[in-house]
Structure 1
Amino acid sequence: MSSDDAYAAFLDKANEDPNAGRATTNGANGVNGHSDTNGVNGVNSAHSKQVPERLVTAAKDQFYVSDSDEPWVPVSFDIGQATSLPNEDDFIKAAGLKQSADNITILDPVDWDSQGQYKPLIDELRLESQGNDVRVYRVQIDSTRVEYWLVSQLDGNLLGYKAKAIES
């Protein structure tokens, strides 16, 4: 085999769809066919809910800019009878996260997005949650990996978006 053939085979393999051969459904594989091992709508929770269409549409082609530029994934899940956004401990339980509360920082969206880069997502979330408070939960996964959860609540549901980030 010539080196050109080997290189062509390498390129073909590199350009294959990583999700080829996997079933694509709304729910277990996240939103818009994106595979996510964290469960329904990217949330590892038995209380996951269907994401409102407005949030799915707003997140289309939106990315959190970091060393990895990951897509915003719409999320929605049950938080019981809560009428306000959860504290760090309650957020961990509701989202089914494995991190401790020490790894979570709650941020104000205005301070977090001082350049207005994510304003369209924040605005859609405020509309969908009928003007309720919006909050950012920064979850430190390890020394460089972070998840940002941009969320609000409505009628016992936590809804919004999450994005993975690499911050080196």
Structure 2
Amino acid sequence: MLARPLATYVSPLRTAHHRYCARRLISYTNRLPTSQQSIIRAIQFPTTFKSQPVTQPPRFPSFSTSSTIMSSDDAYMAFLNKANSDLNAGQGSAQGGGSVQTQAVDTSLNLPASLKNVEVYYVSDTDEPFEPVLLRWKGAEQGEWPSADDFSSLVSPNNDISQGVSTLSTSSFDPKKQYSAAIKAVREAVSSGSPVETDLKVYRVELTSTKLEYFVLALDSSEGGRVVGLRAKSVES
């Protein structure tokens, strides 16, 4: 069998390749069908892209930690100073913020017997017993009662508690007659006749807003003048 020339094989293949490429070219260049064109039109593409503005983070006022702490310290110190001034100036509170200790007995004087064994308690948050009072007061010889300033000097010579001193009658001090035995003992301490006729006065001393003392007193002209009586400590919350 005689071999065919190579050209007889190549020519038909080349022709078939050209026809295939021509069909592909036509398919890419021809217009799309109307149904497909409507799909393309439905897709809208922006002609230009606008950049979105950059959102700036919120700005907060600057502050100094040291100034904030200083402000807090100043406010705290102002609070402490006000509290101390209230204790010192308010209603009988003297230096020491309510730590004032009043004195009740001058040991150089003779204590009346009726005041030595008084078993009566003043009713408050603590229920303290009545204690003897015996202090030198020259005004007693003329029948003069101590003023608030005088009484502050008698019971608290080192601290002025006069702003917290006031006076009461025995009926105001004991409206329910709870302390009749104590009042009777004071009258007997100075009376030479009938104890009922002895004039008494109650000194109310407010040391703090809750700590008070009551002095049930009578004037006694003996030993150069003195005040005698009983003291009751009270805690009233």
TM-score range, shorter chain: 0.5 to 0.7
> Counterpart in 1 of 2:210?
144
Provide closer, same or farther for how the CA distance between residues 38 and 50 of structure 1 changes in structure 2, counting only shifts above 3 A: farther
1:80-159 to structure 2, matched below 5 A, reads: 80-82=138-140, 83-97=143-157, 98-130=159-191, 131-155=197-221, 156-159=225-228
For residues 83-131 of structure 1, give each alpha carbon's deviation from its aligned partner in whole angstroms, at most 9, with x where no partner exists: 2321211111122353432201100011110000111111221122224
Q: Say if 2:104 and 2:231, in contact at 8 Å, map to a contact too.
A: no
**Overall identity of the aligned pairs, in %:** 30
Q: Is the 8 A contact 1:134 1:150 kept in 2?
A: yes
Aligned length: 127
- The residue aligned with 2:111 is 51
Is 1:76 aligned with 2:145?
no
Q: What is the aligned partner in structure 2 of residue 33 from structure 1?
A: none
Q: 1:38 to 1:103 in 2, by over 3 A?
A: closer
| Structure 2 CA distance for aligned equivalents of residues 49 and 140 of structure 1 | 27
Deviation by residue 1:121-167 (Cα, 9 ceiling, x = unmatched): 11221122224311111100111100111111111110001111100
- Paired residues of 1:48 and 1:76 also in contact (CA < 8 A): no
Call closer, same or farther: CA 1:85–1:91 in 2, change over 3 Å: same
Normalization by structure 1: what TM-score?
0.67
Alpha-carbon RMSD across the aligned residues, in angstroms, is 2.3
Query: Which shifted more, 75-84 or 146-155?
Result: 75-84
Q: Cα–Cα, structure 1 residues 149 and 48, in superposed 2: closer, same or farther, change >3 Å?
A: farther
Instruction: Report the structure, 1 or 2, having the larger strand content.
Output: 1
Whole-angstrom distance in 2 between the partners of 1:167 and 1:99: 22
Q: Which moved more, 1:102-111 or 1:47-56?
A: 47-56
**Corresponding position: 1:164 with 2:164:** no
Q: Call closer, same or farther: CA 1:106–1:48 in 2, change over 3 Å.
A: farther
1:47-67 deviation line (CA, Å, top 9, x unaligned): 76232111112x2x2111100
- Aligned twin of 1:20: none
CA separation in 1, counterparts of 2:115 and 2:236?
A: 26
Q: Is the 8 A contact 1:76 1:160 kept in 2?
A: yes
Q: How do residues 6-85 of structure 1 correspond to structure 2 at under 5 angstroms?
A: 42-43=103-104, 49-57=109-117, 59=118, 61-82=119-140, 83-85=143-145
Residue 173 of structure 2 aligns with an amino acid whose one-letter code is W
TM-score by length of structure 2 reads: 0.49
CA separation of 1:104 and 1:80: change in aligned 2, threshold 3 A: same
